Amino acid sequence: MSWIKKEEIYSRIAKFQIYLKDLDLSGALILQNVDRFYFSGTLQNSTLFIPAEGEAILIVHKAFSRAAQESPLKNIVSEKPFNIKKVLQEYGIKTDRLGMELDVLPVNIYLKYKKIFDSSDIVDVSHIIRKTRMIKSEYEISQIKKAAKILDENLYEVQKILKPGVTELEVDAYLGYLIRKKGHIGMMRMRGWNQEMMYVHVLSGKDGAITSFLNSPQGGAGISPAIAQGASYKKIERNEPIQIDHGICINGYIGDQTRTFVIGKLPDILKKAHDCSYEIHHFFLENAKIGTSCDSLYHGAVKIAKDWELEEYFMGFGDGKVRFIGHGIGLEIDEYPVISPHFKEPLQEGMVLSLEPKFVFPELGVVGMEDIYLIGKPTKRITGIEQKIFEIKA
C-alpha cells in the first residue's frame, strides 16, 4: 500500500501537465530522487515519464516490488534504464520534445539519454517542476507542521544542557538524538549544486561569524575542512550569542527554525540587531499577502536594516553576505519561492517558506530568528516558540 494517497500524486501530475502543454512538450523524464518521489511516491531506482496528457509511466530499474507497493501510479513496469524508449513506444508515446531536469542532472547521464532519444528536442523543465512543487497541498502542509512542532519542543528542551563549558558539538549531538527518536529521516535534502545541509548549526560566540561555502549568512567552523560548517569543539561561554539553527525532516518534509540563546546577557549591539530581526518578521507577517512580489519584501527588509544602521551586518558580513532573507521549504530546503531581489514571483496561497533575517558581527557572532510561514488569508507563522532571545541563568 502506498504511503501517499493516489489523489495527492495524481493532483501533482495534473498541475505539472499544464506546464508541459504550455511548453508544447510531449512529456518529461524525471530522474532526480526528490522530484521522482514527489510525482510517484517512491524513491526506488527508476525513470518516471510524465506525458503532457494521460497516465504517467514509472519504469523501475531496481526494487520493482517495493516501488509497486509505495507508488499509487497505474503504470509501473520493470525494465533496464536504457530500454526506456522501447517502453514508451509500446505505450504509444511520442517523444518529439522532452523535458529533463537539467539543473541537477549529471552531464554523462544527460548524454546517455540524449543518445537514446537522438531525434528528440530536449528542454530544461527544472523551473516548472519547482513551480509545481512551490504550492503545497494540505497533506504537505500537515507534514511541515509536524516538523515545526518538534522543532518547538526541541528548542525548549535544549536549554536544559546549555551551560558554560559544554561544547557546540555536544549540543549538536543532543539535538540529533532528540530528532532521530521523533522521526527525523536522517538527512536534509538540498537542490543547489554542491550545497550540503546539516540538521543543526550550533554556533557560539565569534564562531558564528566564520564564513563557509554554504549559501547561508552563517557558517561555523565545523570539526574539519571536510565539512566546513556547523558545530565545532568550541566550548560555550557566558554572555555570548548561541545561535541554534535547527532543522528536521519528517516523512520527507523539512522544518527549519532558528533562535538565539545566551547564558547571561548579550552586548547591547547584539540585542539591537535581534530587535531589528523581530521587526523584519513583523513587517513580513503584515505585508506577505497573496499577490505581493517576493523582491518587494526583500527590499523592505533591507530598508529596515538600513534604518537601524545595521545594513553592514545584515545577512552576513563581508564576503559572507547572501542576497536573500527567506526560502521555500518542502522536500528540499532550498525550494521556491525565494525572498530575494531577483525573484519577482508574487506570493500565492499555499506557499510555505522560512524567513531568516540574521545579523553577523565579526568577533561577536550571529543573532536573529528564523520561522516558517504559510502564505494564505491571512499569512500565518507555523513555528510557535516565542520570538525572543532566550536568556539562561549562568
Q: Is a pLDDT exceeding 60 seen at residue 1?
A: no
pLDDT tens digit sequence for 278-331: 999 999 999 999 999 999 999 999 999 999 999 999 999 999 999 999 999 999
pLDDT at 131: 98
Domains and CATH numbers, the chain: 6-133 (3.40.350.10), 135-392 (3.90.230.10)
pLDDT at 394: 72
Mean model confidence pLDDT for the chain: 96
Mean pLDDT of 86-106: 95
Range with the lowest mean pLDDT among 1-10, 11-20, 160-169, 174-183?
Answer: 1-10
| Cell matching residue 278 | 523581530
Of all residues in the chain, the percent with pLDDT exceeding 70 is 99
Mean pLDDT of 31-40: 98
Torsion of CA 107, 112, 117, 122, to 10 degrees: 0
pLDDT tens digit sequence for 237-268: 999 999 999 999 999 999 999 999 999 999 99
79/383 Cα distance (integer angstroms):
44
30/15 Cα distance (integer angstroms):
15
Of 266, 247, 268, 267, residue with least CA distance to 258: 247
247/151 Cα distance (integer angstroms):
7
Of all residues in the chain, the percent with pLDDT exceeding 90 is 97
Per-residue confidence band for 82, with pLDDT thresholds at 50, 70 and 90: confident
pLDDT at 2: 65
73/205 Cα distance (integer angstroms):
51
pLDDT tens digit sequence for 131-157: 999 999 999 999 999 999 999 999 999
